[in-house]
Amino acid sequence: MASKEQQTTEQEFYQTIIGIPSEILFAENLEEARLMVISGQGFFPVEGRTPAMTFGTSIRRVPLCRGEEPIVRNYCLFWKKDNFGYYVEEFADVLKSKFK
């Protein structure tokens, strides 16, 4: 799922970084993506374990692997040394809690 403006970036990411060599199909919204999966037109890569996103009984979730190992993405947060303080550290703590 990606907007028209984001599709080139998403395609490059999934083909170059993740290593999916096939054609990338895009859906305009979640409902369209689900219909494409159910009708056998493709897969819908979903990152993480998002409880808010339910898929129903007609779609099965499987891990995305490279060889035998699941693909894991690391997220990093950086800021300039001279740009620190209470709000920057609080923001970093909020982000850290969201990725646990």
Question: pLDDT for 43-94, tens place per residue?
Answer: 888 766 555 556 667 777 777 888 888 888 777 878 888 877 888 889 888 9
The Cα–Cα gap between 52 and 63 comes to 18
The predicted model scores a pTM of: 0.60
DSSP character string of 53-96: ----TT------EETTEEP---------TTS-SHHHHHHHHHHH
Sign of the Cα torsion 39, 47, 63, 49 reads: negative
Per-residue pLDDT band for 8 (boundaries 50, 70, 90) equals very high
- Asked if 42 and 36 count as a contact pair (C-beta separation under 8 A), the reply is yes
pLDDT computed for residue 22 by the predictor: 86
pLDDT computed for residue 74 by the predictor: 79
Question: pLDDT for 24-50, tens place per residue?
Answer: 999 988 889 889 989 988 888 876 655
